[in-house]
Amino acid sequence: MALKDKVALITGSSRGIGAAIAKLFAQHEAKVVVHGRDLAALAAVRADIERAGGRAIEVAGDLTRLSDIEGMRSRVEETLGPIDVLVANAGKSYTRPGLPLEETTEDGWRASIEGTLTATFLTLKAILPSMKRRRTGSIITISSAAARRPHPASPMPYAAAKAAMELMTQSLAAQAGPYNIRVNCIAPETILTETNERTIPDAQKATLVETHPIRRLGTPDDVARAALFLASEDAGWISGVVLDVAGGAVLVR
């Protein structure tokens, strides 16, 4: 199995993309750590993993507080061992799509940067030293198609945070490579998470489908399969890439 006995922490895995990654990793025999703020949702993800014969534990913590992340890391190490695979998935937009820059509040800007970029930076800062000491590890950050090309409907602070995350990922790949640590990024386009299934009107979904050369919208499993590949030794000589899981909608020259 691709991740047999690897300890994998997936932040923001109580639902959606993170939950799909956690479940797929567990199917491939990773020891999975699910993280989030909704304790009931976390318990449900853990229960799904255990019913399928996998192993998982839950952790909770504020990713904008380094002390919280270090506490989570300590608990994981005491329970399962050192973290081999990190998927830094947590993050969201705190401003509405298409909001003009001059109408974006300072609070909305700061929340988007803190909750997405700073949270990822602090997660990497807490987990990386152990990987360096052991000279092994695979790190995956989760960006967005919003960071890959400008669009007037994108939430600007979120897009800026995700674009900065991509450069941070590639800079870290250059720094960590000599320690045998691979660092990659996945940039999904529109993904039919539970929330998007519920909130995007059917007519808008049909319009969005037409913007993708592959005529469908993405699923959490599409992203999970990409994460499994990047986390595994099948991608053993791949580092510093931003992989567009976007149905061909993002074509980078």
Count the neighbouring beta carbons within 10 Å of the beta carbon of residue 89: 27
Pick from 68, 55, 60, 27: nearest CA to 41? 60
Question: Considering its fold, how many domains does the chain have in total?
Answer: 1
Find the CATH number of the domain harbouring 126. 3.40.50.720
94 is known as an active-site residue: no
The residues that bridge with 57 in the sheet, in sequence order, are 33
In a domain, 251, yes or no: no
pTM: 0.95
- The catalytic residue among 158, 183, 226, 232 is 158
Task: Evaluate whether residue 186 is within a structural domain.
Answer: yes
Confidence of residue 97 (pLDDT cuts 50, 70, 90): confident
The answer to whether residue 60 sits within a structural domain is yes
Give the tens place of pLDDT for each residue, 14-69.
999 999 999 999 999 999 999 999 999 999 999 999 999 999 999 999 999 999 99
Range of the domain at 110: 7-245
Within-domain flag for 92: yes
Q: Is residue 220 part of a domain?
A: yes
Report yes or no on 1 lying in a domain: no
In a domain, 216, yes or no: yes
Q: Three-class SS of residue 86?
A: strand
- Which of 5, 3, 11 shows the shortest CA–CA distance to 127? 11
CA atoms within 13 A on the CB side of 116: 27
Residue 2 in domain: no
How large is the angle between the packed helices 39-51 and 16-27, nearest 10 degrees?
30
